[in-house]
């Protein structure tokens, strides 16, 4: 037990350090701010792809809702000067470019695979968090029912 209160750590379906890219005509330039990409199930029960700056209480600048099989996250092979990735929506011409900001690229492929797994089967990948939450709720109800039957309330 800690003597000091600590903020609960948020866990996301996937999270990694990445910057945004700025598209100017046919050129893609890095936005030099430190950022992160993460994906979560929103309050609306839909899959969201977020980008925000890496600073405390930063509000996401990108909040993209992704439906089943609607998008794909791939490496831009034409970029020889960095690790640039494209989130491309299949149902429109919408495209978002991000560049990896971790020094080592060993986990890039694993992260890209995880993002695409979430896009291709969001329900299967989000259900584990729901199960944990419903199990906690069931346990709380069981405890409360036990307290009521003992006449404490």
Class of residue 80 by CB neighbours under 10 A (exposed 0-12, middle 13-18, buried 19+):
exposed
Do the beta carbons of residue 71 and residue 62 sit within 8 Å?
no
Domain residue spans in the chain? 14-120, 122-153
Confidence band of 114 (pLDDT split at 50, 70, 90): very high
User: pLDDT (tens digit, 9 = 90+) per residue, 1-57?
Assistant: 445 554 455 689 999 999 999 999 989 999 999 999 999 998 999 999 999 999 999
Nearest to 74 by CA among 96, 103, 55: 96
- Single out the residue of 57, 68, 82, 72 nearest to residue 115, CA to CA: 72
Beta-bridge partners for 130: none
Single pTM value for the model: 0.75
> Which class would CATH give 14-120?
mainly beta
Residue pointed to by tokens 């899959």: 47
User: What per-residue confidence (pLDDT) applies to 56?
Assistant: 93
DSSP per-residue letters across 83-141: -EEEEEETTSS-EEEEEE-SS--TTHHHHHHHHHHHHH-HHHHHHHHHHHHHHHHHHHH
Averaged over 132-146, what is the pLDDT? 52
Q: What is the DSSP letter of 25?
A: T
Q: pLDDT tens-digit profile of 42-99?
A: 899 999 999 999 999 999 999 999 999 999 999 999 998 889 999 999 999 999 999 9
**Confidence band (pLDDT; 50, 70, 90) for 149?**
very low
């Amino acid at each position: 037990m800690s003597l000091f209160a600590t903020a609960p750590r948020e866990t996301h379906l996937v999270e990694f350090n990445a910057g945004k890219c700025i598209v100017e005509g046919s050129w893609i330039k890095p936005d030099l701010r430190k950022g992160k990409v993460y994906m979560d199930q929103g309050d609306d029960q839909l899959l969201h792809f977020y980008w925000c700056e890496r600073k405390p209480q930063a509000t996401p600048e990108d909040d993209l809702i992704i439906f089943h099989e609607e998008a794909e996250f791939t490496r831009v092979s034409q970029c020889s000067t960095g690790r640039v990735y494209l989130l491309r929506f299949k149902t429109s011409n919408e495209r978002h470019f991000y560049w990896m900001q971790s020094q080592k690229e060993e986990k890039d492929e694993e992260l890209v695979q995880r993002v695409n797994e979430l896009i291709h089967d969001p329900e299967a990948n989000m259900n584990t968090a729901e199960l944990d939450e419903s199990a906690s709720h069931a346990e709380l109800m069981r405890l409360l029912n036990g307290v009521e039957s003992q006449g404490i309330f």
